[in-house]
Amino acid sequence: MKIAVAQLNFHIGNFESNTEKMLKAVAKAKGQGADIICFSELATCGYPPRDFLEFDDFIGLAENSVDQLRQAADGIAIVVGSPSKNPVPEGKDLFNSAFFLADKKILAVQHKTLLPTYDVFDEYRYFEPTTTHEVVEFKGKKIALTICEDIWNIGNENPLYKICPLDEMVAQNPDFILNLSASPFNYKQADTRAEIVGSNVSRYKIPMFYVNHVGAQTELIFDGGSLVVSPNGKIYEELPFFEEVVKVFDLNQVSEGTKNSPQPKHKYAMIQDALVMGIKDYFGKLGFTKALVGLSGGIDSAVTAALAAQALGAENVRCILMPSHFSSDHSIADAVKLAENYGMPYDIVPIKSVYDSYLELLQPKFEDKPFNVTEENLQARIRGMILMAMSNKFGNIVLNTSNKSEAAVGYGTLYGDMCGGLSVIGDVYKTEVFALAKFINEEKEWIPVNTISKPPSAELRPNQKDSDSLPDYDILDEILFQYIEKRTDPQDIIAQGFDEKIVKKTLRLVNINEFKRYQTPPILRVSPKAFGMGRRMPIVGKYLS
């Protein structure tokens, strides 16, 4: 038996495109002699469809996609994920389902059992879990059909769940496992995913074909990396990351083992590729082509512009340099050099006269109060206004350049440097931004060395440095990582050797600036715990504030 794994980039709600893409993959697999082709979880509608699932018309379009695929299931079986209606009045209206289509019929439907409701997942909001687990028989083989989370409760040891679907199916002596997944990217997930799949196969001693999404859906990025694992628990093949692939495997050869070792998983290579895909798909799926970046000569805007140039083409990334009274000559020179290195068009729009006009307008109302963050924020907001004006005039989308460290402690100006349509590095800590810049420069000095080596500064007052207001980033980022990613209690962070005053000040800043993060653009997720849909905190909470 030959099985095709179809790792494709779907577009949420774009049923026509998704179906056409799958039909082309079916024809390709059929031409290569495949007996079965397997697509990923909710492939007809894209993942995650979220509240689109509440519209009857949306479900009807998904049913129509399944029907088109059913008619193409002639000489080849098609396995595809799609929402389906729950025929009984009890429970949720929908199932998250895997359809097995063969001989132009729906041969079987297996619904998802384990519905994740944590981090970015909210499936129990929409779907009813199944309690029925039946293998599918096709061409003399028995197939255990599972969907994503169904394999994440190995031996019923996951405390989130009370049932292990594969334990239920293994009693029926399946010959292999198909798993339709939508596993979002973070820089640790590929290793975790391979471990989970390998552990399942080691337990049941039968091959698994694990099919994952690829592509970005706003903040969620799917890296692909679909897996074929032999009965000995070792990876037979891991499909490429961040690429669409349709590949046919011979079941007998997979069962015998050997073949390829896993792909390398360099953290910053993965993050770079994920962010490039995130930008590319955000623009492509919304029908945009050109971006605007406010280029300051600093590390954050430099990395953002570099990633945008890779994603969209340098000619489609317009850089706006907006020097003020406090901008250093070397920052302007660094920004110009970066733009010229990539061949990005750039404009220099000095803001000194605009800033002076604002001060003249506001000074009578400021009651002779001294220069403070107010005047600093004025500069940021003037720059934000210029960027948004250019965006409106030319239809270019502004890319936000704030990093995760700044977003965490509120070191940014609402309606100023926090504006934009998409936050590119909002899930990348400042120390990681520097490491990413060095990675980008490994083969060529795209980002000027001075941009990487100089002390970080917002340049909003004379001789300003980030360290005037914040702990050194090496310290700050580790405290933030312990609190945000690892959910470590404050006293436990202090017990690790961090200064108590710094810890308490940092965590207070994180919590009191929640209101700012509610007003930021969507953030491309590359870490295990990003700001946005996977982290839900109250704005007016008192904890640590």
- CA distance to 46, 303, 535, per residue, from 529 (Å): 22, 21, 7
- Which pLDDT band, with edges at 50, 70 and 90, does 463 fall under? confident
**CA-CA distances (angstroms) from residue 144 to 2, 44, 209, 210?**
16, 21, 10, 12
Q: CB atoms < 10 A from the CB of 448, how many?
A: 21
- Return the pLDDT at 331: 86
Predicted local distance difference test score (pLDDT) of residue 433: 98
Task: Pull the structure tokens for residue 439.
Answer: 């990675």
Residue 267, pLDDT above cutoff 90: yes
Q: Nearest CA to 410 among 513, 535, 543, 518? A: 513
Q: Could you say which of 38, 123, 128, 148 is catalytic?
A: 148
Question: Which among 41, 219, 237, 459 is annotated as catalytic?
Answer: 41
Active-site annotation holds for 430: no
Among candidate residues 21, 30, 112, 430, the one labeled active-site is 112
Model-wide pTM > 0.85:
yes
With a CB cutoff of 8 Å and minimum separation 6, the contacts of 159 are none
Q: What is the pLDDT of residues 110-138, one digit of tens each?
A: 999 999 999 999 999 999 999 999 999 99
> Tens of pLDDT along 348-385?
999 999 999 999 999 999 998 999 989 999 999 999 99
307: left (phi over 0), alpha (psi -120 to 50) or beta: alpha
Secondary structure of residue 320 in the 3-state scheme: strand
Q: Which domains does the chain have, with CATH numbers?
A: 2-260 (3.60.110.10), 270-469+513-517 (3.40.50.620)
**35 contacts: CB under 8 Å, gap ≥ 6:** 1, 2, 3, 76, 77, 138, 139
Question: In the structure, what pLDDT confidence band is assigned to residue 223 with cuts at 50, 70 and 90?
Answer: very high
Task: Show the beta-strand stretches assigned E in 381-506.
Answer: 397-400, 422-423
Question: Taking residues 270-293, what's their average pLDDT?
Answer: 98
Position 325 confidence tier, pLDDT thresholds 50, 70, 90: confident
pLDDT above 80 for 260: no
How does the average pLDDT of the chain come out, rounded?
95
Q: What does the DSSP 8-state code read for residue 484?
A: I
Told to judge if 148 belongs to the known catalytic residues of this protein, a careful annotator would answer: yes
Q: Give the pLDDT of residue 455.
A: 81
Report helix, strand or coil for 206. Answer: coil
Inform me whether the pLDDT recorded for 282 exceeds 80. Answer: yes
Q: What is the pLDDT of residue 318?
A: 98
pLDDT digits (tens, 9 = 90+) for 67-95: 999 999 999 999 999 999 999 888 999 99
Query: The tokens of 252 are what?
Result: 């007998």
CA distance 125 to 60: 19
Q: Percentage of the chain with pLDDT > 90?
A: 90
For 434-449, what is each residue's pLDDT tens digit?
999 999 999 999 999 9
Mention every residue, 6+ apart, whose C-beta is less than 8 A from residue 307: 272, 275, 276, 279, 424, 425
Question: Residues 381-402: pLDDT tens digits?
Answer: 999 999 999 999 999 999 999 9
Q: Please name the helix (run of DSSP H) or strand (run of DSSP E) that holds residue 4, with its range, or none.
A: strand 2-7
| Residue-wise DSSP of 46-70 | -S--GGGGG-HHHHHHHHHHHHHHH
Q: pLDDT (tens digit, 9 = 90+) per residue, 404-420? A: 999 999 999 999 999 99
Tell me the Cα Rg of the chain.
26
